[in-house]
Chain A
Amino acid sequence: MIVAEPKSLDEIKAMVDGYDRVLMVGCGTCVEVCLTGGERSVNLTATALRLARKVDGRDIEVGEQTVIRQCDFEYLDEVKDTDKYQAIVSLACGVGIQGIARRFPNTPVFPGVNTTFMGFNEEYGYYTEMCKGCGECILHLTGGVCPVARCAKSLLNGPCGGTNNGKCEIGSDKDCGWVLIYNKMEQLGTLDKFKEINAPKSYGKAGNIRSMDLRK
């Protein structure tokens, strides 16, 4: 799932400073699940924006809508009455925000959240990064633990010298990905493969401007 975190109210307020009527659009998929972009977030952010502007002495009208996904045109077609608003604030991941921008090309679109990572829902309100979208999955070689996402240096052969009693040198609250890999492979009885050197990945596959075509 794509995880995003809310932008500060000050940042949103600054973005819409020149507008009196904005539409805030939520996304009912990933960012709703991570409690950042669903109907509740839209409601709270819109209310907060309205109140902040009131405090400044300038009213702002904030429309509130939430669609199932902002990464599909069909769902974006459900966004209504955009002509009533001067700008749109999207509470979706970067994909959805761009979706809105493409669907409503003549309206300025602003991000209401910062898209952070692809993560796992550990428990209520707590998410951890699990995947970098590198384009060449090697989880079969690493006991089902991703070194690209879960090692601070994305080392393919680790750990490095910064491993510290199972924690990473960048912070004592972060597990060392390679210790996790070692422990998991030990549990699976595949430690003999641990010493095999993993070949360098083609980072071309992790490059920009990627697309996928399954139509053929």
Chain B
Amino acid sequence: MASEATNVNSQSEAFETWIEDQPLKPPCAAACPVNADIQSFVSLVAQGRFKESLEAVRERCTLPGSLGRICHHPCEGECRRNDVEGAVNIRAIKRFASDVCADEPVSDAVPKTRGKKVAIIGGGVAGLTAAYDLAKDGFDVTIYEQNDACGGAIYTGVPKYRLPKDVVAQDVAAIESLGVTIKTNTAIGRDVAFDDLAKDYDAVLIAIGLTVSRGIPIPGHDADGVLLALPVLKEANFNDNVVIGKRVVVIGGGNVAFDVARSAKRMGAEEVSLCCLECEDEIPAFSWELVEAREEGIIINPSWGPKEIKVEDGKVAGISFKRCARVFDEKGMFNPAYDENEILGIEADNVVFAIGQGADMNGFTGTSLEVDERGRIKWDALTLKTNLPNVFASGEVVTGPGSAVAAMRNAHHAATAIERFLTTGTAGAVVVPEPLAIGRLPQHTIDAIVRKEKNHVPIVDPAERVKSFIEAEGGFDIDMAIYEAGRCMNCGRGAEIIAEKCAACLTCVRVCPFGAPYISEARVADFNWDSCQSCGICAAECPGMAIHVGFNDDTLINERIDAATSGITAFGCQLGKPEIYNPLSKATSSPPGLNFVKLMCASRLDMQHILRAIENGVDGVAVMACPDDKCRYRKDVNWAEVRANRAKRLLEEIGIGGDRVEFMGSFATPEEAQQAIGAFKAKLAELGPNPLNKVMVK
């Protein structure tokens, strides 16, 4: 299970509550519906550890390639870099991690240690996510999917220009590789009886999504040429020869309506209009959809309600709209009011309804699953249970339409509920409190942060992209991804005081460029996480060794130092470039004879790190620090250089020789770095081996 649940006594004996543990989070992760560990995967990309990054993404965001393209990225909206010069492009980094590892072998299956079987009906985002969690947890999971492949709405509905289908397949394959059995072309009610599943499996999850488009019974709705959104999108995705009329009117203002309108353009329609009840500001689709649709020449007509479809010879000839005066009433309920005097008429060959979807419950008719008077599954949002003891439901079929990542969130809860049920035999409520985020950046910290402009992904020119269903948005290359990942400020993952070792000496307060440390009322240093950037300057200066830095933990750094007992150990910024990307290992790696120890910033380098490397037997230590104008942190002092010089002096005193430490700048290219390393190697060759290596130690 991705998140450990705590069993809490509830007031009702029959009813247990599991409250998921929610520590204070950085704003990105707090805003993420699945609370993905964004900083970790971003940092791993910054370090060139792409495969590890992808696994870190998948832990909560189970479909990284797909969501790396279509997620509406609320994380970026909350990124504290918005207050500096622009949010970190988190979605593009996630996509990069997936794309760069596209040819990786899939994971090994997880042993099915739990001895329980779970059937999941529907292989969409929710079903796949629950399958991931449950398979990871050792359950024997089978997905029943009615289409020829999994993915659900992101497979059949989301257009190829936003999400190529091989990307969905890549994400699905990774989940299948955990040992999940996927039965495609298998429809409930047609190929398998629901009641049999409920009997044969220890638990069943219904995650069938919303697969039926709705229309509106206005005059002319049954004419030839009146279409529904999902069948149009499905055709566009799977029929290469799909055609549509020259003039298309799409009714609806949600993301699906925009998908239809933009697909129609790519299917050859010359005039595409999108008409919706909502006024411009109320249009529910994401704002960038409006921008991109307009770029593609789609005419958006807000505040119009469909009145009548004009039919000639049984075929659509046009449609008229009445002015929509308001969509929601005073109580905020959907209750449109019209001004019938104002009419808009549009000539059209096709009218497409994209006004909402319902569930296809046909496979459950006459089974023991209870539905309400409107045909919806009777479901409890806290327990995620249906009327049947071992049958749960999750995703849009029960929550209603929403984003892919919201369905993913609900499915994580469902997996928790199922895991708890199968472990304890009792159904319980999964309560996930809204995570608390650390605060905004204080102005004095904003002022101290070095500006690093946001990297945008390339987008195909509108005139070009509407010609076909080629993917409109490109991804980052390695340099762009590493740069962009390096913009992450690691909010709330920085310095922590070990109070019992703190002498309140003020060193941290004095060396921090961001004003994060302060002396608390308890008369020890503490850190204002709103300001800390995790650079680690303080930790390497603290005379009491009383500071722990989350992402720059000494244990981790020492492990990396200990990887080498000969050659050169280099220390530097994780964004430095002495390395080469190796497509085989899906990571960047150092040239032979060089152990590059990456730090959040070279300023984190501690003299003891240098001594440790020398003690391990390396012949020399290179310290690579970015020039001040390239450093992601404002530097009043080049701490890496200061510490390299201190180490030189000490090594001279020790008798090992200060020349074994060399301070270098950072490098624009791996070639430059290798040249400098080559020169240092030659110097070390003259010095001979590390004296510690040739000495017989008693």
Q: State whether these chains interact.
A: yes
Residues of A bordering B, CB below 8 Å: 8-10, 28-29, 32-33, 35-36, 38-41, 43-44, 47-48, 50-52, 54-59, 66, 121, 123-124
Question: Would A43 and B653 count as touching, CB distance under 8 A?
Answer: no
Q: For the complex, what is the distance from the CA of A35 to the CA of B695, rounded to whole Å?
A: 32
Question: Residue on A with the closest CB to B506?
Answer: A121
The answer to whether A51 and B692 touch (CB under 8 A), given A40-B545, A59-B697, A59-B698, is: yes
Question: Would A47 and B608 count as touching, CB distance under 8 A?
Answer: yes
Question: Would B611 and A44 count as touching, CB distance under 8 A?
Answer: yes
Asked if B543 is at the interface of the complex by the 8 Å CB criterion, the answer is yes
* Pairs A–B under 8 Å by Cβ, sample size 17: A28-B503, A29-B503, A33-B503, A33-B507, A33-B543, A38-B544, A39-B501, A39-B546, A40-B545, A44-B650, A47-B608, A47-B612, A48-B653, A48-B654, A52-B654, A56-B655, A57-B697
Query: Which residues in chain B, 537-566, are within 8 Å of chain A measured between CB atoms?
Result: 541-546
Question: Would B650 and A9 count as touching, CB distance under 8 A?
Answer: yes
Question: Would B501 and A43 count as touching, CB distance under 8 A?
Answer: no
Q: Which residues of A contact B544 (CB under 8 A)?
A: 28, 32, 38-40, 66
Query: Which residues in chain B, 684-698, are within 8 Å of chain A measured between CB atoms?
Result: 691-692, 695-698
Report the minimum CB–CB distance from B651 to chain A (whole Å): 8
Question: Would A39 and B511 count as touching, CB distance under 8 A?
Answer: no
Report the minimum CB–CB distance from B541 to chain A (whole Å): 8
7 nearest CB pairs, A to B: A38-B543, A33-B505, A124-B510, A9-B653, A55-B655, A52-B654, A39-B545
Q: For the complex, what is the distance from the CA of A52 to the CA of B655, rounded to whole Å?
A: 6
Question: Would B507 and A51 count as touching, CB distance under 8 A?
Answer: no
Report the minimum CB–CB distance from A43 to chain B (whole Å): 6
Residues of B bordering A, CB below 8 Å: 501, 503, 505-507, 510-511, 541-546, 607-608, 611-612, 614-615, 650, 653-656, 691-692, 695-698
Report the minimum CB–CB distance from A21 to chain B (whole Å): 12
Question: Residue on B with the closest CB to A50?
Answer: B615
The answer to whether A51 and B614 touch (CB under 8 A), given A8-B653, A32-B543, is: yes
Question: Would A40 and B653 count as touching, CB distance under 8 A?
Answer: no
Q: Which residues of B contact A55 (CB under 8 A)?
A: 654-656, 691-692, 695
Q: Which residues of A contact B615 (CB under 8 A)?
A: 47, 50-51
Question: Residue on B with the closest CB to A54?
Answer: B692
Question: Would A57 and B543 count as touching, CB distance under 8 A?
Answer: no
Question: Would A32 and B503 count as touching, CB distance under 8 A?
Answer: yes
Q: Which residues of A contact B505 (CB under 8 A)?
A: 32-33, 38
Question: Would B653 and A10 count as touching, CB distance under 8 A?
Answer: yes
- Report which residue of A40, A50, A57, A123 has the largest number of chain B beta carbons within 10 angstroms of its beta carbon: A40
- Report which residue of B511, B541, B655 has the largest number of chain A beta carbons within 10 angstroms of its beta carbon: B655
Report the minimum CB–CB distance from A215 to chain B (whole Å): 27
The answer to whether A123 and B510 touch (CB under 8 A), given A8-B653, A28-B503, A33-B503, is: yes
Q: For the complex, what is the distance from the CA of A69 to the CA of B106, rounded to whole Å?
A: 57
Report the minimum CB–CB distance from B585 to chain A (whole Å): 34
Q: For the complex, what is the distance from the CA of A128 to the CA of B546, rounded to whole Å?
A: 25
Report the minimum CB–CB distance from B552 to chain A (whole Å): 16
Q: Which residues of A contact B545 (CB under 8 A)?
A: 38-40, 43
Q: Which residues of A contact B655 (CB under 8 A)?
A: 52, 55-56
Q: For the complex, what is the distance from the CA of A29 to the CA of B504, rounded to whole Å?
A: 9
Question: Would B698 and A58 count as touching, CB distance under 8 A?
Answer: yes
Report the minimum CB–CB distance from B663 to chain A (whole Å): 18
Report the minimum CB–CB distance from A52 to chain B (whole Å): 4
Q: Which residues of A contact B543 (CB under 8 A)?
A: 32-33, 35-36, 38-41
Q: For the complex, what is the distance from the CA of A59 to the CA of B650, rounded to whole Å?
A: 18
Q: For the complex, what is the distance from the CA of A33 to the CA of B501, rounded to whole Å?
A: 12
Report the minimum CB–CB distance from B505 to chain A (whole Å): 4
Q: Can you name 14 extra interface pairs (CB under 8 A) apart from A8-B653, A38-B505, A47-B615?
A: A28-B501, A32-B505, A33-B503, A33-B506, A38-B545, A39-B543, A39-B545, A44-B607, A44-B650, A51-B692, A55-B691, A55-B692, A56-B695, A121-B506
Question: Would A57 and B695 count as touching, CB distance under 8 A?
Answer: yes
